[in-house]
């Protein structure tokens, strides 16, 4: 293992790529701690020390920004606008034929879709930064808190000062997007995934230190032991796949023979990744947001439905919230897999190139068989996602941690997924140069 790591740094090209990636990551983390203009940073720090973060959708966005959101830094929005824009672009392929046609055009169409995603990212960054500045000015960024510092998070509330903050945060999002593309082009691994990985990994030391300070050493080491077990299980499931065998018939093109090979279609147990967890968190935040807007400000008794939502959907450790979260993740997993994997399209492509599944006729029977396998394998995958996502909520109820508990939910899925993919890329590049990879 150590000899393989030494080979990485002895390979000039690989060493240069890893060094470039680490430099971009360092600049990204530096920008996450630089406050935006006209932000009262001492008051922000006082609020952070008092509240230890926040829950719900805002907590998830803060997790993806590496804590930069609640610090109101120039990189406060992090990668969330790009993630949202990518998801919207994928969903638009279902309802807008032009997007689907671009997706099928190959490299040229993908470049056009990428350009649309960039424009949408900037638009979403403008919208989200405006919302963030508005919430910060109203003193509600950290919820209903009695800390006086949380009511004055901006040193200047003039319209031009707020506009400058919005421009700075939007420009920060554009810079992050450029960083990610640079890493993908000149570094190692997928740039945006690595920046998300960096943001989440940056919250681990603080979360573990909080558990050490507020709980006993026994609970701290128990959390580490549970985290190692969970990480091992996540690696096992993320690597698990159902391989459907495919044979290609031999065909003559001129004087050459093509086909006659055996391959397989890999169907992962978790094909949806972390997207259903993000969808479910976002949707569960809407009832709490509606209830907040309908809560009387004069201290009078709110409506019965507002009280019910406040009691059941604003606390992550409530059984009703957990059940709704779990069921939404299962539903969104099936929804997202149905969008991203089209059995009819796969069957048509196989038939076009002379491929078939042994024992299954080409065409419609192949599509029905793929749909049958996909439906059955998505069930354990969706249950696995739901259980992993519930780990922070269970930790909230038992250990008293916040919803950004490091060993569970979206954080562990992204950390493991990006880590595995990056290691595979390093291993592939080592094999090209030394005929021996990083993994054995």
117 and 263 fall within a common domain: no
193 and 244 fall within a common domain: no
**Domain finish residue from 203, 234, 269:** 203
| Reported confidence tier of residue 174, pLDDT bands at 50, 70, 90 | very high
175 and 225 fall within a common domain: no
Can you read off the two tokens belonging to residue 278?
Answer: 């993000």
CATH number at residue 220: 1.10.3370.10
297 and 357 fall within a common domain: yes
132 and 239 fall within a common domain: no
Average pLDDT over residues 183-188: 88
Q: What is the pLDDT of residues 336-385, one digit of tens each?
A: 888 888 888 888 888 887 788 888 888 888 999 999 999 999 999 999 98
127 and 34 fall within a common domain: yes
pTM: 0.79
| Reported confidence tier of residue 255, pLDDT bands at 50, 70, 90 | low
Residue 38: domain span:
1-203
9 and 76 fall within a common domain: yes
63 and 144 fall within a common domain: yes
pLDDT at 148: 66
196 and 227 fall within a common domain: no
Domain count, the chain: 2
Average pLDDT over residues 312-333: 82
307 and 266 fall within a common domain: yes
**Domain assignment present for 259:** yes
**Domain assignment present for 310:** yes
pLDDT at 61: 65
Average pLDDT over residues 89-112: 82
pLDDT at 350: 84
197 and 249 fall within a common domain: no
């Amino acid at each position: 293992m150590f000899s393989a790591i030494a080979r990485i740094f002895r390979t000039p090209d690989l060493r240069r790529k890893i060094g470039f990636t680490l430099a971009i990551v360092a600049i990204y983390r530096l920008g996450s701690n630089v406050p935006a203009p006209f932000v009262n940073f001492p008051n922000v720090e006082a609020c952070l020390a008092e509240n230890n973060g926040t829950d719900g959708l805002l907590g998830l966005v803060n997790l993806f920004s590496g804590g930069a959101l609640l610090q109101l830094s120039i990189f406060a929005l992090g990668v969330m606008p790009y993630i949202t824009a990518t998801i919207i672009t994928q969903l638009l392929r279902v309802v807008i034929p032009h997007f689907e046609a671009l997706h099928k055009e190959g490299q040229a169409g993908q470049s056009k879709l990428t350009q649309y995603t960039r424009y949408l990212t900037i638009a979403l960054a403008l919208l989200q930064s405006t919302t963030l500045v508005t919430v910060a000015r109203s003193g509600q960024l950290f919820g209903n808190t009695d800390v006086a510092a949380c009511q004055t998070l901006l040193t200047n509330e003039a319209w031009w000062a707020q506009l400058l903050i919005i421009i700075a945060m939007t420009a920060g999002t554009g810079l992050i997007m450029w960083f990610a593309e640079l890493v993908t082009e000149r570094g190692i691994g997928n740039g945006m995934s690595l920046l998300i990985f960096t943001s989440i990994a940056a919250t681990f030391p603080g979360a573990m230190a909080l558990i050490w300070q507020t709980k006993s050493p026994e609970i701290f080491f128990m959390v580490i032991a549970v985290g190692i077990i969970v990480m091992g299980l996540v690696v096992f499931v993320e690597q698990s796949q159902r391989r459907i065998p495919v044979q290609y018939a031999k065909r003559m093109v001129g004087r050459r023979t093509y086909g006659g090979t055996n391959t397989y279609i890999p169907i992962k147990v978790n094909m949806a990744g972390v997207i259903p967890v993000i969808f479910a968190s976002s949707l569960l935040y809407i009832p709490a947001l509606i209830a907040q807007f309908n809560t009387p400000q004069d201290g009078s008794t709110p409506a019965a439905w507002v009280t019910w939502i406040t009691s059941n959907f604003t606390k992550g450790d409530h059984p009703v919230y957990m059940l709704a979260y779990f069921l939404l993740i299962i539903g969104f997993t099936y929804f997202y897999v149905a969008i991203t994997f089209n059995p009819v399209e796969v069957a048509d492509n196989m038939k076009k190139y002379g491929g078939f599944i042994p024992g299954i006729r080409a065409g419609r029977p192949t599509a029905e068989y793929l749909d049958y396998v996909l439906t059955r394998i998505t069930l354990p995958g969706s249950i696995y996602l739901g259980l992993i996502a519930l780990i922070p909520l269970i930790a909230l109820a038992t250990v008293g941690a916040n919803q950004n508990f490091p060993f569970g939910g979206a954080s562990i899925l992204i950390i493991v997924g990006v880590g595995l993919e990056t290691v595979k890329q390093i291993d592939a590049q080592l094999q090209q140069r030394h005929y021996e990879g990083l993994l054995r």
